[in-house]
A = this chain, B = another copy of it.
Amino acid sequence: MVRWEPGARERLQAAALELYVHQGYEQTTAAEIARAVGLTERTFFRHFADKREVLFHGQEEFRQVFVSGVVSAPAGGTPLELVAAALAAAATFFPDERRSYSRLRQQVIDAHPALQERELLKLAAVADAVGAALRDRGVAEPAATLAAESGLTVFRVAFVEWLADEGRSMLTVVREVLGELGTTTAGAAGALPPG
């Protein structure tokens, strides 16, 4: 008889998503999640800093994929080409098989402002890391921050479309949205004439 089953973290994550989906985030207590997998509330908080964090595993890896895209992009590119490389790398993080899981998770997040806050903070951390990677490759400010933030904007818009449209891959959607960004922001320099 084992004293504890392995993979406590993963089991807690799975149980949390399940409960959040079926009875709502606020209606679910940490103790309840722990009990569902045969652990105590105390153990839950040993693995996760708070009730939200349990939905945001794999975040460091996600950030790293973005950064690696910038790092391994060919030399001589514009800031936006570096960001495009980061987006292409990020797209590999979302193969079609992942769509239904992502959809479920996003449905929970969209229903609770507390979770939206956490997600925005995580994405902001990714943008910061991409900005730092761009500066490492010699991009000056404010171009580095603008390019990084624009990249995350493209990611967010593309992600919503990818979740909604069964037919297209994340990479395809990213490519399209990136193209739209260029069209949309063209001529920004002249958009606000001197008063």
Contact = CB atoms under 8 A, between A and B. Distances in A.
Interface of A: 78-81, 83-85, 87-88, 113, 116-118, 120-121, 124, 142-143, 145-147, 149-150, 153-154, 156-157, 161, 171, 174-175, 177-192, 194-195
A73 to B, nearest CB: 10
Contacts of A175: 192, 194
Contacts of A143: 180, 183-184
Given A117-B117, A179-B188, 17 more contacts: A79-B184, A80-B187, A80-B188, A80-B191, A81-B191, A83-B191, A88-B192, A113-B121, A117-B120, A145-B157, A146-B154, A147-B185, A181-B185, A183-B188, A185-B185, A185-B188, A186-B186
B161 A153 contact: no
B149 A78 contact: no
B157 A153 contact: no
B195 A171 contact: yes
A146 B85 CA distance: 19
A114 to B, nearest CB: 9
